[in-house]
Amino acid sequence: MKKAVRAPRKPVRPSALQAESLQQTRREHASETAEDYVEAIADLTAAHGEARVVDLARRLGVTHVTVNRTLARLQREGYVSVQPYRAIFLTDRGRTLAAECQHRHGIVVAFLVSLGIPEKSAEIDAEGIEHHVSPATLAAFARHLAK
Amino acid sequence: MKKAVRAPRKPVRPSALQAESLQQTRREHASETAEDYVEAIADLTAAHGEARVVDLARRLGVTHVTVNRTLARLQREGYVSVQPYRAIFLTDRGRTLAAECQHRHGIVVAFLVSLGIPEKSAEIDAEGIEHHVSPATLAAFARHLAK
DNA sequence: TACATAATGTAGCCTTGGCTACACTTGAGC
DNA sequence: GCTCAAGTGTAGCCAAGGCTACATTATGTA
Ligand SMILES: [Mn+2]
Ligand SMILES: [Mn+2]
Ligand SMILES: [Mn+2]
Ligand SMILES: [Mn+2]
């Protein structure tokens, strides 16, 4: 009368937690583009006085077409203000997000460097890692740096 | 005769490095699905004796439709072997990748926990972070753990 | 054995985010 | 003022990865 071919053994990692983690990761990826764009726009504006489509394309490693379409979405979502053939401006909301991202980015890079990781590797890894760092983890990184 | 409205000031972060970092991040995202799937298949096979579409869907937090289409791609790419209405098997290539991912995943979680991050937060963050950890960074994490 | 249900498969929709090719606009320098 | 190269815009292609709705298959149990 063996009930199940599929043994009822408890899995190594509970399915529910893994599913929740992966869904969170997907949510983070959904906001990642916005974060990288507003950060780049803030950086470029600080460095050049303005952010242009072609600058963003070079900075982000994509074509100007991709930048254009993404900017349309970011405008729709209220992060930027775009007018044809004009420089790109952050809204208040965009500026707030950019500041948060710049702050978090700096902490992640500094933390990785503090572990002895070469500057360049730290910068490359941080660009991906930053979007998956929860407030608790960011705090832990900052705590570690303070020591 | 002011040559440029666009001042030639050196940007805070060089565009080339940022572009390279973002391109690397995008490459990592492209292999992320394969990594999460083979890891889940290996885990499920170890725990249940086999991995079925519905188990994967639950585990990954997506519908069985998404799982099916993704498995077709993973088979095309040589990671899994799939037959209609049968359990899913890893190829040698899939098994190798799964082992690497399980190993890396474990180190990332343990490292975060060692920083004082709660187990659950560590697990959630690790699910995203793991895919952006270069060999140099993984080594640094392991080094830190050994102490 | 038959059948109800769970599992699996598939058609077709959407959004994001890459791209090329081509068209239009701007503005710096002559 | 003109010109033309650089910048910008847009049409349309592709793949990945979500989804719902519906069709088909397998299988445990009556
Ligand atoms: Mn980033
Ligand atoms: Mn960043
Ligand atoms: Mn993962
Ligand atoms: Mn990521």
Mean pLDDT of chain A: 93
CATH code, domain carrying A35: 1.10.10.10
Does any domain span residue A11?
no
List of residues 6+ apart from A5 with CB closer than 8 A:
B49
Q: For residue A106, give the chain B residue with the closest CA.
A: B13
pLDDT of residue A129: 98
- Classified as helix, coil or strand, B89 is strand
pLDDT of residue A140: 98
**Does the pLDDT value for residue A84 go beyond 90?**
yes
* Nearest CA distance, A40 vs chain B (angstrom): 9
Does any domain span residue B95?
yes
Does any domain span residue A51?
yes
Task: Residue A112: list chain B partners with CB under 8 A.
Answer: 137, 140
pLDDT band at B14 (very low <50, low <70, confident <90, very high): confident
Does any domain span residue A69?
yes
Q: For residue B20, give the chain A residue with the closest CA.
A: A61
pLDDT of residue B5: 40
Average pLDDT over residues A134-140: 98
* Nearest CA distance, A97 vs chain B (angstrom): 18
Closest CB to B132: pick one of A118, A129, A136: A129
pLDDT band at B121 (very low <50, low <70, confident <90, very high): very high
The tens digit of pLDDT for each residue in A37-60 reads: 999 999 999 999 999 999 999 999
Average pLDDT over residues B128-144: 98
Closest CB to B7: pick one of A6, A20, A49: A49
**Does the pLDDT value for residue B21 go beyond 70?**
yes
Closest CB to A19: pick one of B61, B115, B118: B61
Amino acid identity for residue A43 in this structure? D
CA to C1' distance (Å), from A55 to D4? 21
Does any domain span residue A56?
yes
Does any domain span residue B8?
no
The tens digit of pLDDT for each residue in A91-127 reads: 999 999 999 999 999 999 999 999 999 999 999 999 9
Interface touch A128/B59, C-beta < 8 Å: no
Interface touch A19/B117, C-beta < 8 Å: no
Amino acid identity for residue A54 in this structure? V
CA distance B60 to B55: 9
- Classified as helix, coil or strand, A81 is strand
The nucleotide minimizing the C1' distance to residue A64's CA is D8
Write out which nucleotides of chain D lie closer than 7 A to a protein Cβ.
6-12, 16-21, 25-29
Mean pLDDT of chain B: 93
Does any domain span residue A7?
no
pLDDT of residue A15: 84
Q: Cα–Cα distances in Å, from A123 out to A99, A117, B17?
A: 18, 10, 8
**Does the pLDDT value for residue B35 go beyond 60?**
yes
Q: Cα–Cα distances in Å, from A143 out to B37, B113, B116?
A: 34, 14, 10
pLDDT of residue B15: 85
**Does the pLDDT value for residue B26 go beyond 60?**
yes
pLDDT band at A11 (very low <50, low <70, confident <90, very high): low
Does any domain span residue A116?
yes
The tens digit of pLDDT for each residue in B55-108 reads: 999 999 999 999 999 999 999 999 999 999 999 999 999 999 999 999 999 999
Q: Which of residues 7-26 of B touch strand C (CB under 7 A)?
A: 26
CA of A92 relative to ligand 2 center, distance in Å: 19
pLDDT of residue A14: 80
Q: Which domain holds residue B61?
A: 31-146
Provide the domain count of chain B: 1
